[in-house]
Structure 1
Amino acid sequence: MSTRERPLPRTVAVLAFDGVRLLDVTAPLEVFSTAATLGARYEVALLSPAGGPVTTSAGTRLLTDPVDEQTGRVHTLIVPGSPGLPKEVPAGLLDAVHTLHSASWRTASVCTGAFALAEAGLLHGRRATTHWRHVTTLAQRHPDIEVDGDAIFVRDGRIYTSAGVSAGLDLSLALVEADEGPGLAREVARDLVVFLQRPGGQSQFSVAARTPTPRHSTLTALLRSIAADPAADQSLPELARRAGLSARHLTRLFNEEVGDTPGGYVESMRLEAARTLLDAGETVTATAHLSGLGSDETLRRVFLRHLGVTPSTYRARFRTTDPTGPGRGPRTA
């Protein structure tokens, strides 16, 4: 094939800036660069609004090219996040996002990079996600966006958003799969020793950590009691009795301040307890009993609904990271 007939590479532009999360940048760079070594038509560009060195939140300095030197079409624009973006998106970064997005075929964000896309108006009327710690802020600040707080990544048209930090790996692998098919994406995942598609969503992370602090002190005490003993009687009538409220009032408080129903919150806490028990080596039956989920079948339904795997599969895969231990670590096949 002559040079003229050879397909042009797909340019993947990763937009860095001072304070950017290092892994938000390097995860996509690794995925697309690895895909290129395996035969995909990618050419990776690391850009910043002004070019030159940028300092990441980890203190590492990255050498970048300026946005205005990027000529021609951009196949994929990736906007990483930073700890500061939920507070303020720099004007220079917004200008760079607008410039590159107008020249790109698709645009994606990693972690809090969604705030840059939102401020640029790219998420208006769309479904999106971001780091679980900031989903409430994004939803409150931009009520025109349908924020999915559990998704690892979301596609809405030609706009993609992803959850916290390492979700940039999941998103990048999905983009490679869309471009090159599952075979090459699987080879990239194998090379990087990661899941091609990890089980579960952001709900796999600590319930207490992602739950907003209630304003109502009675509700705060109730949440603590559920966390302390999820296997106890945590039915709605019993919770209402302990709170000294009607079941209807308590349900309204949960919806307003926790963002979930009492039953949904209790199930999430029991799931977290069950994961901890399985991690510690308990059997599936003992885990079902000790977590408060009751039966093996209930435990199985809850795991499949929230994590997309059965308890036995979870136990085999995630009990240890020791390659000589049970499950032998994550499999990417």
Structure 2
Amino acid sequence: MAGTKRIGFLLFDGVKALDYVGPAEVFVEANQATKAYEVILLSPSGAAVTTSVGGVAVSASAADAPPLDTLIVPGSEQAPSVFVTDELLTAAATLVDRSARVVSICSGAFVLAELGLLDGRGATTHWKFAEDLARRFPRVDVQPDRIFVRDRYVATSAGVAAGIDLSLALVEDDLGAAAARRVAQGLLIYLRRSGEQTQFSTPLRAAAVPDSPVRVITELIAQDPAYRHSVISLARHVNISPRHLTRLFQDEVGMSPAEYAASVRFDLARSWLEAGCSVAQAASDAGFSSAEALRRTFAARLGVSPSAYRRRFRSQLDVTAPMAVRTIAGL
């Protein structure tokens, strides 16, 4: 297998199966066109491990592992204080020393942080672990909204899907955009996301109290995000004052009604761009007053133009755009 890149996954008791299976399948799929990768499963001792869905055998212990082009450390649904053991840290340190690049999936970032690999670097993890990571490791620049972060030879990602996104990015680095596109097609991954994208959309961030006026308004906005709601009309809809509605929104979702509606429209515009729509069409369908208004919003929020975003993150297959559009539209 001369010329192949060796990808090693460090597994351990309690590892989340999808954290390594999803990314591993990306590299295996790349081998359909060319034998570019050798994927090996490792554990601290070389013994089989108990994953979230059952037992899995491995190829070797960390100490017996060959040199790696990429070491990937997946995460766990267990608390980091439980699964990040001394044995796991020793194994990871051994493998880091023989790896050209190092990657974590989800809470696997805690392993890299314990080893000091994330000190002075940008990093991310699943949003539910981000606060703990930042608190325990103040020298790490934790970026909780990011899908994945690459800082020199170290990369970290959020949850399961983000690990797949990051693996596709690594394939693109290794084999080029065309190869990554074939892998995405083979795995039926229609939209490729970048690390700059947020882990969750505005509606998912909104933790409105059930049966509260805020929940009623967020559902109203979700039904027609492009409609230009005013605070007065929204307050009238739930029979309270605009000031009281604004105060409830700040308490329950951390932003004003206007800011929430604007964020939902922005997320909708991004979805249309990812589906292949033009900037003008995305602006119109998402409720922006003009394409220029959408450009200003993109520049302020992401630091890129809608056209650049569309080129980078849209579906790689034109034939998939109608399906993406139908999904967005709820059809």
The normalised TM-score by structure 1 is: 0.70
Q: CA deviation at 1:149?
A: 2.4
Q: CA deviation at 1:198?
A: 2.8
Residues 129, 303 of structure 1: alpha-carbon distance in 2 compared, 3 angstrom cutoff: same
Name the CA distance, whole Å, in 2 between partners of 1:226 and 1:144. Answer: 40
Residues 95, 212 of structure 1: alpha-carbon distance in 2 compared, 3 angstrom cutoff: farther
Name the CA distance, whole Å, in 2 between partners of 1:244 and 1:199. Answer: 33
Residues 263, 87 of structure 1: alpha-carbon distance in 2 compared, 3 angstrom cutoff: farther
Match of 1:84 in 2: 78
Name the CA distance, whole Å, in 2 between partners of 1:176 and 1:275. Answer: 24
Can you give the 5+ residue segments of structure 1 that lack an aligned partner in the other structure?
1-5, 328-333
Match of 1:330 in 2: none
SS in structure 2 opposite 1:23? helix
Residues 67, 321 of structure 1: alpha-carbon distance in 2 compared, 3 angstrom cutoff: farther
Q: CA deviation at 1:102?
A: 1.1
Match of 1:101 in 2: 96
Q: Tell me which of 324, 327, 330 is aligned to 1:318.
A: 324
Match of 2:243 in 1: 241
Name the CA distance, whole Å, in 1 between partners of 2:18 and 2:126. Answer: 14
Residues 181, 149 of structure 1: alpha-carbon distance in 2 compared, 3 angstrom cutoff: same
After superposition, residues 284-303 of structure 1 pair within 5 angstroms as 288=286, 298=293
Q: Is the 8 A contact 1:10 1:75 kept in 2?
A: yes
Q: Tell me which of 20, 23, 28 is aligned to 2:15.
A: 20
After superposition, residues 138-177 of structure 1 pair within 5 angstroms as 138-177=133-172
Match of 2:113 in 1: 118
Q: Which amino acid is 1:14 matched to?
A: F
SS in structure 2 opposite 1:46? strand
Q: Is the 8 A contact 2:134 2:140 kept in 1?
A: yes
Name the CA distance, whole Å, in 2 between partners of 1:33 and 1:285. Answer: 39
Can you give the 5+ residue segments of structure 2 that lack an aligned partner in the other structure?
222-227, 236-240, 276-280, 316-320
Q: CA deviation at 1:130?
A: 1.4
Q: Is the 8 A contact 2:147 2:199 kept in 1?
A: no
Q: Which amino acid is 2:218 matched to?
A: A
Match of 1:3 in 2: none
Q: CA deviation at 1:260?
A: 7.1
Q: CA deviation at 1:265?
A: 4.6
**Deviations along 1:169-213, whole A, 9 cap, x unmatched?**
111111111112222222222222214723786536343544689
**Deviations along 1:144-187, whole A, 9 cap, x unmatched?**
11122232211101000112111111111111111122222222
How many residue pairs get aligned? The number is 296
Q: Is the 8 A contact 2:16 2:77 kept in 1?
A: yes
Q: Is the 8 A contact 1:31 1:169 kept in 2?
A: yes
Q: CA deviation at 1:55?
A: 2.0
SS in structure 1 opposite 2:89? helix
Residues 284, 155 of structure 1: alpha-carbon distance in 2 compared, 3 angstrom cutoff: closer
Q: Tell me which of 29, 34, 38 is aligned to 1:39.
A: 34
Match of 2:180 in 1: 185
Q: Which amino acid is 2:12 matched to?
A: F
Q: CA deviation at 1:47?
A: 0.7
After superposition, residues 232-271 of structure 1 pair within 5 angstroms as 232-234=229-231, 241-242=243-244, 265-271=260-266
Name the CA distance, whole Å, in 2 between partners of 1:136 and 1:270. Answer: 27
Q: CA deviation at 1:99?
A: 1.0
Q: CA deviation at 1:316?
A: 3.7
Deviates more, 1:166-175 or 1:221-230: 221-230
Name the CA distance, whole Å, in 1 between partners of 2:245 and 2:73. Answer: 45
Residues 11, 288 of structure 1: alpha-carbon distance in 2 compared, 3 angstrom cutoff: closer
Q: Is the 8 A contact 1:112 1:130 kept in 2?
A: yes
Name the CA distance, whole Å, in 1 between partners of 2:108 and 2:185. Answer: 27
Name the CA distance, whole Å, in 2 between partners of 1:78 and 1:261. Answer: 41
Q: Which amino acid is 2:115 matched to?
A: A
Match of 1:331 in 2: none
Q: Is the 8 A contact 2:105 2:125 kept in 1?
A: yes
**Deviations along 1:237-272, whole A, 9 cap, x unmatched?**
x99933798xxxx9xx88xx9787886555324546
Q: Is the 8 A contact 1:316 1:326 kept in 2?
A: no
Q: CA deviation at 1:45?
A: 0.7
Name the CA distance, whole Å, in 2 between partners of 1:128 and 1:316. Answer: 34
Match of 1:72 in 2: 66
SS in structure 2 opposite 1:100? helix
Q: Which amino acid is 2:180 matched to?
A: A
SS in structure 2 opposite 1:116? helix
Q: Which amino acid is 1:233 matched to?
A: S
Q: CA deviation at 1:14?
A: 0.6
Q: CA deviation at 1:228?
A: 5.1
Residues 105, 271 of structure 1: alpha-carbon distance in 2 compared, 3 angstrom cutoff: same
